[in-house]
């Protein structure tokens, strides 16, 4: 059995073969690597905050059927990524894979999609946590939701929510700056907090809950708000119509004007439409598990542990999340889907509607702590991705972003700058579902590019691709089929999650695509040579 020191030396040699010297502190074991992705997935964040979103559109069926459907398809994506993480265990993760499999253009595109996705997912997590914590605090204190707050007007003010977001991010940033050892320990703690927290909530509602619906209720389709209503806003003069909303600005929807038949479809709200739109709840929850790849250079036995971290974080979340959603839906007070879906905090509505106030407070605290731990892990992953790309001079400001503190051995500038960007993106996209949609699409496009390149090369038997010889964690003969399912699923969600009521996502993604293409054509195409490590080993 090799000693820990021998394992560290082997990891350093593996990294050297990929062209990089060991700079970051290699402290994480397999459990810690899994823990960081599991914490970012955080079923107590995504599944809780978007619980009302799916419920309002499709009813209980979105949790009972939608969650397992998304879970199985996401496992195909995770397995495809795990194989590549085993072959290329670097902090650059996805964009390093894309370079080795497809060249510098694919690497550059993957990097920018991944970086944008990392910032928006961190923004979504922490603004969600801020919004939730305000609601939980007012309920625990017995105050009205819109209680007056000095300077900001009320607790429901968007700018007050932003201020709370900044306040909860400050300790997250400091912990990330002052060391990977503390971050790893908190990620380990986060796993037990999430699993134990879900167990407490499930058992409390199952055995002490005042309301339990019949089994048929769990597969009921109820549309509380049609997609048309969800896509509409007050345009002034008493006129409510489909609208494109940017913060406080509203204009008539360009998409509904371009596609006249969309109005009738959205008004009719067929099950197929509301079901796929409601899948955002589950799919956004399953984001950020690329973190296990991004901390590969800080993980012992990275070729196996990073791969298992990617895959198991999704698999375990699938089981834990499904138990939570089934019991929450089973316990909707009096089976009143509309009252639950329309509550600003639907999970708290279920908890306080079933349990004694003191136990409701416990549920509220469990969820709040889980959300903060989720944000902490997200900053870790985000900063490592930006650091890795800066290390290869892939962006403006790279000389600062790639600096590693000589004593702390953490990328301090990368941590601070990306956290500030997460706050700024939230100011732009004031609708929570818009931030979540942008992060889901950009991250999954970044996930699927190297998966597609690997699938393409394997089919052609040309170029690099993962094999049992290069990837100890291998899909073997099932790899091609699993890759194909993953690619098709990402294409589907990239379209669905850019549709109204998230139309802002569509236009943002088109603008983003144009800016990325322009930047590549005018500058990066000549300047960017690709990951230094990958280039030196090809």
Kindly tell me if the per-residue pLDDT of 22 is higher than 60: no
Other Cβ atoms closer than 10 A to 407: 7
- Give 487-524 pLDDT, tens digit per residue: 999 999 999 888 888 888 888 889 889 999 999 999 88
Q: Is residue 534 part of a domain?
A: no
More reliable by pLDDT, 125 or 77: 77
Q: Is residue 253 part of a domain?
A: no
Q: Is residue 114 part of a domain?
A: yes
- In the predicted model, what is the mean pLDDT of the chain? 86
Q: Is residue 151 part of a domain?
A: yes
Q: Is residue 237 part of a domain?
A: no
Do 389 and 111 touch, CB atoms closer than 8 A? yes
What six digits make up the tokens of 490? 């990402």
Give which of 331, 270, 255, 225 is closest to 509, Cα–Cα: 255
With a CB cutoff of 8 Å and minimum separation 6, the contacts of 406 are none
Residues in the chain: 538
Q: Is residue 3 part of a domain?
A: no
Phi, psi of 345 (to 5 degrees): -130, 75
Q: Is residue 425 part of a domain?
A: yes
Q: Is residue 353 part of a domain?
A: yes
β-pairing verdict for 249-252 and 232-234? unpaired
User: Which domain does 443 fall in, by range?
Assistant: 32-226+269-497
Confidence of residue 7 (pLDDT cuts 50, 70, 90): low
pTM reported for the whole predicted model: 0.87
d(CA 364, CA 132): 9
Q: How far is CA 497 from CA 173, 245, 505, in A?
A: 30, 16, 8
Kindly tell me if the per-residue pLDDT of 23 is higher than 80: no
d(CA 434, CA 186): 29
User: Which residue has 């992060």 as its token pair?
Assistant: 439
What six digits make up the tokens of 516? 């990325």
The DSSP H or E segment spanning 189 is helix 180-208
**Residue 532's pLDDT is what?**
64
More reliable by pLDDT, 203 or 145: 203
> Domains in the chain: how many in total?
1
What's the average model confidence in pLDDT over 260-277?
92
CATH number at residue 278: 1.20.1740.10
Give which of 390, 312, 386 is closest to 81, Cα–Cα: 312
Do 368 and 250 touch, CB atoms closer than 8 A? no
Confidence of residue 17 (pLDDT cuts 50, 70, 90): low
Instruction: List the single range of 13-27, 51-65, 287-301 with lowest mean pLDDT.
Output: 13-27
Kindly tell me if the per-residue pLDDT of 325 is higher than 90: yes
């Amino acid at each position: 059995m090799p000693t820990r020191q021998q394992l560290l030396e082997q990891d350093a040699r593996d990294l050297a073969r990929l062209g990089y010297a060991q700079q970051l502190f290699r402290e994480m074991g397999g459990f810690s690597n899994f823990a960081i992705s599991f914490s970012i997935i955080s079923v107590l964040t995504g599944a809780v905050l978007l619980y009302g979103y799916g419920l309002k559109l499709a009813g209980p069926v979105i949790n009972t059927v939608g969650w397992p459907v998304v879970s199985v398809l996401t496992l195909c994506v995770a397995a495809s990524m795990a194989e590549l993480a085993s072959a290329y265990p670097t902090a650059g993760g996805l964009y390093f894979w894309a370079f080795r499999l497809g060249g510098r253009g694919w690497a550059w595109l993957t990097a920018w999609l991944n970086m944008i996705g990392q910032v928006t997912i961190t923004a979504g997590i922490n603004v969600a946590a801020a919004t939730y914590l305000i609601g939980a605090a007012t309920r625990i204190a017995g105050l009205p939701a819109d209680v007056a707050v000095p300077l900001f007007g009320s607790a429901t003010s968007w700018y007050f929510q932003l201020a709370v977001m900044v306040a909860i991010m400050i300790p997250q940033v400091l912990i990330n700056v002052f060391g990977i050892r503390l971050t790893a320990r908190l990620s380990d703690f986060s796993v037990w907090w999430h699993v134990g927290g879900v167990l407490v909530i499930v058992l409390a509602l199952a055995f002490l809950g005042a309301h339990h619906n019949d089994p048929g209720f769990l597969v009921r389709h109820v549309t509380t708000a049609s997609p048309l209503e969800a896509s509409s806003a007050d345009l002034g003069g008493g006129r409510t119509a489909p609208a494109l909303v940017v913060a406080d600005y509203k204009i008539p929807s360009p998409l509904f004007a371009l596609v006249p038949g969309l109005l009738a479809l959205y008004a009719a709200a067929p099950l197929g439409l509301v079901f796929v739109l409601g899948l955002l709840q589950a799919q956004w929850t399953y984001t950020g598990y690329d973190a296990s790849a991004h901390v590969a250079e800080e993980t012992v036995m990275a070729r196996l542990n990073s791969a298992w971290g990617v895959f198991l974080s999704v698999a375990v979340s699938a089981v834990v999340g499904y138990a939570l959603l089934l019991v929450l839906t089973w316990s909707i007070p009096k089976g009143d889907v509309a009252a639950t879906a329309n509550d600003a905090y639907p999970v708290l509505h279920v908890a306080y509607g079933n349990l004694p106030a003191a136990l409701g407070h416990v549920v509220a605290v469990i969820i709040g702590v889980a959300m903060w731990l989720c944000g902490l892990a997200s900053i870790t992953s985000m900063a490592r991705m930006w650091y890795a790309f800066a290390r290869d001079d892939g962006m403006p400001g790279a000389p600062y972003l790639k600096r590693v503190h000589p004593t702390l051995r953490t990328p301090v500038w990368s941590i601070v700058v990306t956290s500030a960007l997460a706050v700024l993106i939230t100011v732009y996209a004031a609708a929570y579902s818009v931030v979540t949609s942008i992060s889901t699409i950009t991250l999954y496009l970044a996930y699927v590019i190297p998966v597609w390149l690997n699938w393409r090369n394997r089919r052609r038997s040309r170029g690099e691709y993962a094999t049992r010889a290069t990837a100890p964690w291998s899909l073997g003969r099932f790899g091609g089929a699993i890759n194909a399912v993953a690619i098709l699923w990402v294409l589907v969600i990239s379209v669905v999650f850019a549709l109204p009521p998230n139309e802002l996502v569509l236009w943002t993604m088109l603008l983003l695509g144009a800016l990325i293409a322009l930047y590549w054509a005018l500058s990066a195409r000549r300047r960017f040579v690709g990951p230094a490590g990958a280039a030196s080993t090809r």
